[in-house]
Amino acid sequence: MPEPGLGDVHVDAALTDFSVAYFQDPANFAARAFSPTVPVGKQSDKYYVMDKEHTLRTDSQERAPGTEAPTRDYQLSTDSYFCNVKSIAINVSEQIRANADPALDMEEDAARVLADDMKMRIEVDFATAAFATSIWGTDVVGTTDFTKWSNAASTPLEDIATGVETVEAATGRTPNRLLIGAAVWRHLKNHPDVIARISNDTTRIGTQALLAQLVGVDQVLVSKAIRNTADEGATAAYSRILGSNALLAHVDPNAGLRSTTAMKTFVWSGLVGSSDGIRTKRFDIPKEDAFPRVETDASYDFKVTASDLGYFFSAAI
């Protein structure tokens, strides 16, 4: 009588303490970090704008004893926002959930897939609203206006300094944030101009903190977010969401009155259960065999509030 074989003594089953999923590192996404949020109670509204032509003009004069002070005025205008609602859902079948292996939590897995889906949507919408030409006060294009930073002979620190000076000269504010795509960062952190500024007695590796110090901004942000741009079922096509561009801007990190800021992200807090404009909910739809349906909503508006506070580098590499 032969001994039992491998297939007789063990039946393959899914592990309960290990599985694989391609979820992106939350640090890959930079849109919300670059553009601070303003919670709003209504989906749409207006806000006041003090016109720059008046606030940056001086009418002060010498005043003789016994005379009245000269008077001046200023003008107000209004702008508006509208927080569109973006949604995505997964139906969790009752029968499939009941028959799932212990390593699978169908509801929690669905919620995680939807969360990453929404993060990518937010990054894509930010790219459309802020990371393109014809949006900011100044656009410069690699090769046409400056040597691409992938060229060792280029001068990225000087190019960024020009951007800082341009914004300062037009607004009286110094840019404090630089947002770059991951492909651009790969070249900048290894650029001779950056490496040359590092002391010989330290590790000669360019960092975001070092670049921020060199160009005089508070923060350098790198967007590493990717997405598959192909339709479901088609051959996957992966690409960086923010591409090979860079954005230099002055951004007020605090929401408040009389704010000087290139942009803000208005987030509608009116959706029940939302946090920072995003919510995930579960509810049953029997006719769809959804027990439950897991659904994520986000309501926001990436709003450029002062285009002259931004300087955009297009096709930087």
Eight-state DSSP code of residue 235 = P
Strand partners, 265: 37, 302
Backbone angles phi, psi at 84, to 5 degrees: -65, 155
Boundaries of every domain in the chain: 21-50+75-314
Q: How confident is the model at residue 273 (pLDDT cuts 50, 70, 90)?
A: confident
> Can you tell me the distance from the alpha carbon of 268 to that of 277, in angstroms, rounded to the nearest whole number?
5
- Kindly tell me the burial class for residue 61, based on how many C-beta atoms sit within 10 Å of its own C-beta (0-12, 13-18, 19 or more): exposed
Pairing of strands 246-249, 263-268: unpaired
CA gyration radius for the chain? 26
Instruction: Calculate mean pLDDT across residues 189-209.
Output: 85
Question: How many CA atoms lie within 13 Å of 43's alpha carbon, on the beta-carbon side?
Answer: 8
* Helical (H) or strand (E) element with 170: helix 156-171
Instruction: Calculate mean pLDDT across residues 92-106.
Output: 91
Instruction: Calculate mean pLDDT across residues 184-213.
Output: 88
Does the pLDDT at position 211 exceed 70?
yes
**Residue 129 pLDDT:** 97
In this structure, of 43-57, 128-142, 234-248, the range with the lowest mean pLDDT score is 43-57
Neighbour tally for 210: CB within 10 Å = 17
> Can you tell me the distance from the alpha carbon of 75 to that of 316, in angstroms, rounded to the nearest whole number?
38
Does the pLDDT at position 72 exceed 80?
yes
**Residue 55 pLDDT:** 86
Does the pLDDT at position 214 exceed 70?
yes
Does the pLDDT at position 317 exceed 80?
yes
> Can you tell me the distance from the alpha carbon of 169 to that of 163, in angstroms, rounded to the nearest whole number?
10
Inter-residue contact 150 to 291 (CB < 8 Å) = no
**Residue 9 pLDDT:** 77
At 106-130, the pLDDT tens digits run 999 999 999 999 999 999 999 999 9
Query: Is the pLDDT higher at 58 or at 220?
Result: 220
Query: How remote is the C-alpha of 149 from its chain's centroid?
Result: 22
Q: How confident is the model at residue 91 (pLDDT cuts 50, 70, 90)?
A: very high
Eight-state DSSP code of residue 39 = E
Q: Which regions of the chain does DSSP assign to beta strands (E)?
A: 37-40, 44-50, 76-82, 84-91, 138-141, 177-181, 219-223, 226-228, 238-240, 246-249, 263-268, 278-285, 290-304, 310-314
> Can you tell me the distance from the alpha carbon of 268 to that of 274, in angstroms, rounded to the nearest whole number?
8
**Residue 197 pLDDT:** 87
Find the angle CA(180)-CA(181)-CA(182) to the nearest 5 degrees: 120
Residue with tokens 């508070």: 218
Instruction: Calculate mean pLDDT across residues 132-139.
Output: 97
- Please confirm whether the linkage preceding 175 is cis (ω < 30° from 0): no
Taking each helix axis from N to C end, the angle separating 156-171 and 208-215, rounded to the nearest 10 degrees, works out to: 50
**Residue 198 pLDDT:** 85
**Residue 201 pLDDT:** 67
Could you tell me which CATH class the domain 21-50+75-314 is placed in?
alpha beta
Instruction: Calculate mean pLDDT across residues 37-55.
Output: 92
Does the pLDDT at position 1 exceed 70?
no
